[in-house]
Structure 1
Amino acid sequence: MSGWGVGVSAWTGRPAVQDAGLVALLLTGTVAWRGAPVEPTPGWAVSAVCLLAVLARRRWPVAALVAATAGTLAHMAIVTGPTLADLAAPIVLASLASRYGRTASLTALGLTLLLAGGWSLYVALDGRVDGWALEQVPGVGGHVLGEPEDGGDSGPGPTDWGTLPLFGALIAGWAVGASARSRRAYLDALATRARDLERERDQRAALAAAAERDRLTRELHDVVAHGLSVIVMQAQGAGAAFDKRPADARAALATIVDTGRASLADMRRVLASDDPDRTPRHPAPGLDRLPQLVDRVRESGLQVALHNEGPPGALPAVVDLSAYRIVQEALTNVMKHAGPTAHAEVTVRRTGDELAIEVTDDGDTGAGSADDNAGSGLRGMRDRVALLGGEMSAAPAPGGGFAVRVRLPLTQGGVG
């Protein structure tokens, strides 16, 4: 039953079926208004033209409007009154306004109104009796068009059904069609906007996923590179001291264990931040953990001096984490490239609206060797600084060694 109902609904929704139903309705109303014809008459032939215009309005709207308007005027010219078939002109005008733009449809409406107004003016000034009005008087009908009545000079003339009703019907038909076109255009605009929003949402999701991958890559690089650098240096020291200084070897192995555990904890935190259903067990590191970081680096054999300047206070979380990772990566580069006898100095200076970081060393090779400069270390630092709207310089120092200098804004324009 449901399938049958759907099939009937699809069949009745076809434009040709709808037009046929409308024509049948107009024909039924015309027959009820004027009575069934006993024999073919000009009035019924003209009505047939109007009904055919309704059938053709979707395929040939302009020609259908011309035919419907001509048929209505022909009804008036042969001294007959209005019928439902004469609604063909407003109906066809509605189809034309629904299909064409406002300029074209208004032009069609204006020409139709001008023709109707000219006809009404002609009938008003022809000096003859309105034929339809004469038909409404009992016992007076049945005259011959153009035959004088009571010896007068003129018989009943063409009919005029009233300028205002005729104009009103035409304007109403145009308004219905124009409204349908405007609504269709509005719905099309909404559909286009919805598609644009969906495409923009997908693009934003793709960009967010790419940014998150970059963030995870930077975080994991910083964690793994620093941890492995400390572990390798401690393992080398433990191997050298294993035979003669077992206590130093055991201390180096303990440092390796601590560094490995800290790196694993950082990795778990980084990976947990990518999963909204997991809660990180370890807080993100910040500048408050710089002393522990410097101690681990010192245990690897690199002499590091740490200087904190400026007023204490909480920093924005993203600035705090980025500052820690920048110092961590800079010290990792020092351990990898500056040589075993190098000294490093870390200075963190905070002002009211800016955080300045400086990591320098006096190594022979310099912490920013060509290999690392082309790798992920300095590039990751630059990405972090750029995301925060800061400035960074990394270059060999004039007196030897290498210097990394970073300025991170703390105001709304930078991190807001």
Structure 2
Amino acid sequence: MRTHLATLWRAPRRPSVQDAALAALLLVGTWAGTGAPAVSGGWIAGLPWLPEPVARWVLVGLCVAAVAVRRRWPIPALAVATLAVVARMALAVGPVPADLAVPIVLYTIAVTRRRPVSLAVLGATLAVAAAWSVYVSLDGKPNGWLYDGPLGGGQERPPGATGPPPEPAHDDDVPMRHGEVPAALGPTAWGGIPVLGSLVVVAWAVGWGVRSRRAYLGELRARARDLERERDQRAALAAAAERARLTRDLHDVVAHGLAVIVMQAQGGAAAFATRPSDTLTALETIVATGRASLADIRHVLSASGQVDDSARPTPGLAQLPSLVDQVRRAGTPVELRVDGSPPPLPAGVDVSSYRIVQEALTNTMKHAGAGARAQVLVSYRDDELRLEASDDGTGTSSGATSTGNGLRGMRERVSLLGGEVVAGPGPDGGYVVRARIPLTPGETA
């Protein structure tokens, strides 16, 4: 039941139903304005088998049918309507509502067709109207529309007169009296340039205005869809960037913590037989490093909103001494040097700088080899921050970091900040990581 009601509710919105309703309205208006056709003794010249009133209503039916199919076949419908209106004017009849089929169909063409096509159709219609005006003015016959009203020519036919007009009963030089009919009435002139031409021009202008407005609204809707799509893309890129940042942070934290734990476990196992106290110290360092790494992971996840850990401070260059002490306890001597006075740094620069040094020291512990020493230099300048982490080891740090996430993560971090990272073997051996991060006046708080 609801489906049928919904179908009935949507039916008036269908274009075919609207066209049929408009055609029916024109037919009813024509019938009400002229009355039912009365059979008369008049005949159309050349068609003796068709009574004149029937012919008039056949032409009205063609106009109504053109309106009913104006969306499906607009140009053929306009041609049929134009020919039907011209034929009606040739029968010396006045305008009726059905004759509005010509401007209505032309309006449809202006709305649905491209401008060159609609202009060509408008020009052809105006040419027909102009040709009809010239023909009527040169046929030498008076206007056949005998209607004494606002649109008529002031002539009258006798009441009840049908068929061809009678011949006059006086000489041509004698003026006609009121109520008399001229000898030969010609086609009507209401369908020429002054009336029909003006209507079709107005109909085309209105149709083209509607088409332009629809195109403008379509562009607005397309632009709104593009903006919405762009917003979704930006949100997706932001989410991807956040996932990449989270991955880099987790990699740095886990890699550093595991490197320290592995080194302490190896040292503790080697000293277990001869120096149990050193083994105990190594185990304590493993426990402390594990807890610190878990806390750091918890803090990284809290930054993405997955874990609430707002009590732990954000890691930054201020925590470098603690990081260096942790690496020293793991068995790798580290020298930290700071040049310049540290200014207030943006959070992104501060965290990224800390992670770069952390990753560089992790690679030293993992790949520099036994007995390697590390040096960390932090240089604050007016317009940039420089970081340098080097070691004197003999391991394969270059190959290890270039194929993993460590060096790639450093470069991604610094690239987002507008800086650059250079990593490779040092001039005197070992491995060196250098990073340069610009500091513009607007970035320092």
Structure-2-length-normalised TM-score: 0.84
Give the distance between the partners of 2:307 and 2:325, measured in 1 at CA. Answer: 34
2:243 counterpart residue number: 213
Deviations 1:269-315 (A, max 9, x none): 11122226845332220000001111111111211111111222111
Q: Structure 1 pair 413/394, CA: closer, same or farther in 2 (3 Å)?
A: farther
Give the distance between the partners of 1:374 and 1:58, measured in 2 at CA. Answer: 66
Give the distance between the partners of 1:382 and 1:284, measured in 2 at CA. Answer: 21
Q: Structure 1 pair 148/17, CA: closer, same or farther in 2 (3 Å)?
A: farther
Alignment partner of 1:352 out of 362, 371, 382: 382
Is 1:409 paired with 2:422? no
Is 1:67 paired with 2:80? yes
Gaps spanning 5+ residues in structure 1: where? none
CA contact (8 A) 1:68 1:88 kept: yes
Q: What's the secondary structure of 2:394's corresponding residue?
A: coil
Structure showing the higher helix proportion among its residues: 1
Give the distance between the partners of 2:417 and 2:169, measured in 1 at CA. Answer: 100
1:55 counterpart residue number: 68
Alignment partner of 2:164 out of 105, 129, 144: 144
Give the distance between the partners of 1:67 and 1:415, measured in 2 at CA. Answer: 78
Q: What's the secondary structure of 2:337's corresponding residue?
A: strand
Alpha-carbon shift at residue 58 of structure 1 (Å): 2.7
Amino acid at match of 1:261: R
Alpha-carbon shift at residue 2 of structure 1 (Å): 5.7
Give the distance between the partners of 1:218 and 1:227, measured in 2 at CA. Answer: 14
Is 1:79 paired with 2:92? yes
Deviations 1:47-104 (A, max 9, x none): 2221222233233221211111111122222211110111110111122222211110
Amino acid at match of 2:405: S
Give the distance between the partners of 1:277 and 1:327, measured in 2 at CA. Answer: 25
2:7 counterpart residue number: 7
CA contact (8 A) 2:386 2:435 kept: yes
Alignment partner of 1:111 out of 124, 139, 146: 124
Of stretches 69-78 and 116-125 in structure 1, the one that deviates more from structure 2 is 116-125
Of stretches 60-69 and 201-210 in structure 1, the one that deviates more from structure 2 is 201-210
Of stretches 401-410 and 273-282 in structure 1, the one that deviates more from structure 2 is 273-282
Give the distance between the partners of 1:224 and 1:150, measured in 2 at CA. Answer: 122
Is 1:34 paired with 2:34? yes
CA contact (8 A) 1:349 1:356 kept: yes
Amino acid at match of 1:35: G
Amino acid at match of 2:187: P
Gaps spanning 5+ residues in structure 2: where? 40-50, 150-154, 173-181
Of stretches 325-334 and 254-263 in structure 1, the one that deviates more from structure 2 is 254-263
Q: Structure 1 pair 155/276, CA: closer, same or farther in 2 (3 Å)?
A: farther
Give the distance between the partners of 1:319 and 1:135, measured in 2 at CA. Answer: 93
Report the identity percentage: 53
Q: Structure 1 pair 322/399, CA: closer, same or farther in 2 (3 Å)?
A: same
Alpha-carbon shift at residue 186 of structure 1 (Å): 4.0
Alignment partner of 1:132 out of 145, 161, 184: 145
Q: Structure 1 pair 294/145, CA: closer, same or farther in 2 (3 Å)?
A: farther
Give the distance between the partners of 1:146 and 1:348, measured in 2 at CA. Answer: 118
Q: What's the secondary structure of 1:157's corresponding residue?
A: coil
Give the distance between the partners of 1:254 and 1:391, measured in 2 at CA. Answer: 38
Alignment partner of 1:306 out of 336, 356, 360: 336
Q: Structure 1 pair 208/332, CA: closer, same or farther in 2 (3 Å)?
A: same
Give the distance between the partners of 2:169 and 2:270, measured in 1 at CA. Answer: 138
Give the distance between the partners of 2:8 and 2:104, measured in 1 at CA. Answer: 25
Give matches, 1:7-406, under 5 Å: 7-39=7-39, 40=51, 41=53, 42-133=55-146, 137-140=155-158, 142=161, 144=164, 150-152=170-172, 155-161=184-190, 163-275=193-305, 278=308, 280-365=310-395, 368-406=397-435
Structure-1-length-normalised TM-score: 0.89
CA contact (8 A) 1:355 1:410 kept: yes
Q: Structure 1 pair 9/400, CA: closer, same or farther in 2 (3 Å)?
A: same
Aligned Cα RMSD in Å? 2.9
Of stretches 354-363 and 196-205 in structure 1, the one that deviates more from structure 2 is 196-205
